[in-house]
Amino acid sequence: MLADAGIGEWGFAALVEADGHRILFDTGARPDTVLQNARELKVDLAGVRDVVLSHHHGDHTGGLVTLRREYAKADPEALGRAWVGRGIFLPRAAGPYVGMMTAVKSGYEAAGGRFVELDQPRELFPGVWITGPVPRVHPERNWPAAGRISTDDGTVEDNLPEDQALVFDTDRGLVALFGCGHAGVVNTLAYARRTVRDAPVLAVLGGLHLFQKDDATLDWTGDRLREFGVADLLGAHCTGLEAVYHLRSRLGLDRRHCMVGAVGASFTLDAGIDPLSLAR
C-alpha cells in the first residue's frame, strides 16, 4: 500500500473484512473523503452491502449519502443497508451536528438505502457482532459536553445513547473497532465480554475520544484495558496523541503494538497493526 495515499481529516471510516464478508464501518466527515481515499488506496467498495454507523456525529456519517449514490450506480445493493443504534434519530437540540441525521436519513433513503435500528447486540455474520447501544456501567464521560437531546419535557444531555462498536469473536480473543467510543471503551468492552464472549480482548482499534482526558482518567482506562488483556492498540481519530502514548506506557506495550492510526493503517489477525511509515 502506498504510504502517502489518501487524505486525512477529522473523521473516521474503516473497511472490515472477515471470513469473506465485508462491512464499511462509518463513512468519514466530508462527503467525498472516503470515496476518494478508497480509490487512492485501491480499496474497492463494490460488493459491500452493509454499513455500520457508530453514532450520528457528522464526522462518521458525512460520507454515507455520497457513497451510496456512487456505488448504487453499478450495484443497487451496494451500501444499501445501514445498521444504527437506537437513539441515533433522536432530535438534537444543541451540539456540533444538530440536524445531521435528518439530512443523512432523507438523503440515504432517497438513494434507496435502508436503516436497521438495533437496541441490543446483533451477530451480523458468524463471529461479527454489532454491540448496539451500550449500558453505561462505568463512569466514563467520553462525549462532547455541549450536546442536548430534545424531549417532551425540555432538553437532556446528549450522551450519544446510540453509540455502538463492532466486535469480532476470534480464536485469539475479541477484537473491537470503535468510531468515537462515546459509550466508553471500558463500558463497551465489558458489555462485549458479557454479551459476545467472556474472553480476553486481543485488540482495540479506532477512535476512543480520550483526547481531552487527564492523566488520572487515562491511568484508570489503561488499567482496565490491561485487565482485559489488550495486546494491540491502534488509537485513531479522537483517541488523542497523548492518550495513545499514555495508554501504551500504562499497558506496558511497545511501539509495534500500540500506535496512532492514520489513513491507510490496518490491523490483521495474523500480522497485527500496520500503521504505515509515519506512525511506526
Q: For binding to Zn ion (CB under 5 A), which residues are involved?
A: 57, 59, 180, 238
- Residue among 5, 6, 150, 171 at smallest CA distance from 91: 150
Q: Which helix (H) or strand (E) holds 221?
A: helix 215-228
Measured distance CA(51)–CA(164) in Å, rounded: 13
Q: How far is the CB of 60 from Zn ion (least distance, A)?
A: 6
Whether the Cβ atoms of residue 247 and residue 222 lie closer than 8 Å to each other: yes
Q: How far is the CB of 180 from Zn ion (least distance, A)?
A: 3
Q: How far is the CB of 27 from Zn ion (least distance, A)?
A: 11
Which DSSP letter does residue 138 get? S
Closest CB to Zn ion among residues 101, 253? 101
Opening angle at CA 41, ends 33 and 47, nearest 5: 85
Buried b / exposed e across 84-108, counting CB within 10 Å, b at 16+? Answer: bbebbebebeebebeebbeebbebb
Closest CB to Zn ion among residues 91, 96? 96
Closest CB to Zn ion among residues 52, 180? 180
Q: How far is the CB of 12 from Zn ion (least distance, A)?
A: 6
Q: How far is the CB of 50 from Zn ion (least distance, A)?
A: 20
What the block records as the C-alpha cell of 61 is 456519517
Closest CB to Zn ion among residues 57, 68? 57
Closest CB to Zn ion among residues 207, 275? 207
Q: How far is the CB of 263 from Zn ion (least distance, A)?
A: 15
Whether the Cβ atoms of residue 198 and residue 212 lie closer than 8 Å to each other: no
- Strands 128-130 and 166-170, sheet pairing: antiparallel
Q: How far is the CB of 36 from Zn ion (least distance, A)?
A: 19
Measured distance CA(221)–CA(218) in Å, rounded: 5
What the block records as the C-alpha cell of 66 is 455520497
Which DSSP letter does residue 265 get? -
Closest CB to Zn ion among residues 16, 253? 16
**What length is written for the chain?**
280
Closest CB to Zn ion among residues 141, 256? 141
